[in-house]
Amino acid sequence: MNDIDRRTVIAGGTAAAVMALLRSAYADAIAATVPARARGAPAAGSQRAFAGNQTVTPLVPGRLYRVGCVVRAERLTWLPQDLDGYEPLNCYVLTDAHNLVFADMGAPIMLPAVQAAVDMLAGERKVWLSFSRNEADCIGNLGYLLGTCQGPTLLFGGAGGILEWINDPHVDMLEVRDFLGRIPIVESRNDSSREIGEIRLRWMDARLKQMLMTQWAYESGTGCLFTSEAFGFRHLATADSPVVIDRARDLPPVATVAREIAQRANWMREAQYPDYLRKFEQFFRDNDVRMLAPVHGCVIRGRDAVAAHVMLLRDAMRAASALPDTERLRYA
């Protein structure tokens, strides 16, 4: 199987669903590195393991952490088939003295890193769970966190059904059936905001998305914008390359980014969306975004780096409209 492009084999399903199916097969290989990760040390990639480098990375020490792993790009159906290298899979944790907020909860394959984050950071803090859309790369560890964290609260923006994600082996079935009466749910609708201790969150409709009900969240204290799948076009050359980009140079070509974003947001090809582009540009004029935090791809940190990547994505969104709709051409 080493010589077969796995994206060709699994093109009929989503990558996150495949991760969920394969999680048990690779659990032993991944679990072997948990003690090192719990101390904050990166775990080396493995020929056998589906995911490597399960880590908790400080982005703003004491306030914001990236939690995730690294997988081979060839395993992901949302990427072009000829893209080599590695892809970070991410979720994020915001903390203050008394609170811990998960901004997305990651694909199930990230469970060892999520476990390490809870062990390292939760302590006596109250746990809050927020998610951007109802897909496994954002919500795959919801059941684990609801079943293991003490007194969690769900921040729910109306972004799709959630109950199917609670059937997790760490959660007793009786607790699943009593979920709606047991877990507090607090609204986090678009254009609403909430102060959770020193954490100041605001939710809005995503300015680039594939799934209709997708939210972005902005935390003003750190200047971090949690972008779901948007801005996920920066990848890794090697499994242990840095997952944070803080420079405004050496950007990928516009055409490459256009092709990649249209691979996932296939509605963009042969389409015109001037209002969509206008709202995207206006958001970044109105907000002081100092960090971009996607659920896959590298984290982008610093005003200059953010500005350069915003301009690149804007140009790529325009270029994507000129790409041929391969599905339409197939039946033309």
What dihedral do alpha carbons 195, 158, 191, 131 form, nearest 10°? 50
Degrees, nearest 5: CA angle 79-83-85: 110
The backbone region for 277, taken as left when phi is positive above 0, alpha when psi lies in -120 to 50, beta otherwise, is alpha
The CATH number of whichever domain residue 302 belongs to comes to: 3.60.15.10
Q: Each residue of 182-234: pLDDT tens digit?
A: 788 888 999 999 999 999 999 999 999 988 889 999 999 999 999 999 999 99
Residue 45: predicted pLDDT: 38
Mean pLDDT of the chain: 82
Confidence of residue 135 (pLDDT cuts 50, 70, 90): confident
- Lowest-confidence pick of 173-182, 219-228, 284-293: 173-182
In a domain? residue 174:
yes
In a domain? residue 327:
yes
Degrees, nearest 5: CA angle 94-96-98: 120
C-beta of residue 226 within 8 angstroms of C-beta of residue 216: yes
Structural domain boundaries, residue 98? 6-331
Distance CA 320, CA 273 (A): 11
Residue 52: predicted pLDDT: 85
Rounded (10°) angle between helices 303-320 and 274-286: 180
In a domain? residue 28:
yes
C-beta of residue 6 within 8 angstroms of C-beta of residue 75: yes
pLDDT, average across residues 235-263: 93
Residue 66: predicted pLDDT: 98
Confidence of residue 156 (pLDDT cuts 50, 70, 90): confident
In a domain? residue 299:
yes
**Tokens of residue 85, six digits:** 């290298």
Distance CA 289, CA 46 (A): 36
Number of domains in the chain: 1
Distance CA 93, CA 107 (A): 15
Burial (CB count within 10 angstroms: exposed 0-12, middle 13-18, buried 19+), residue 51: buried
Burial (CB count within 10 angstroms: exposed 0-12, middle 13-18, buried 19+), residue 305: buried
In a domain? residue 1:
no
Decide if pLDDT at 40 tops 60. Answer: no
Confidence of residue 330 (pLDDT cuts 50, 70, 90): confident
- Lowest-confidence pick of 16-25, 96-105, 110-119: 16-25
In a domain? residue 73:
yes
Decide if pLDDT at 168 tops 90. Answer: no
Decide if pLDDT at 28 tops 90. Answer: no
The answer to whether the predicted template modeling score (pTM) of the entire model surpasses 0.85 is no
Residue 16: predicted pLDDT: 41
In a domain? residue 122:
yes
In a domain? residue 121:
yes
Decide if pLDDT at 263 tops 60. Answer: yes
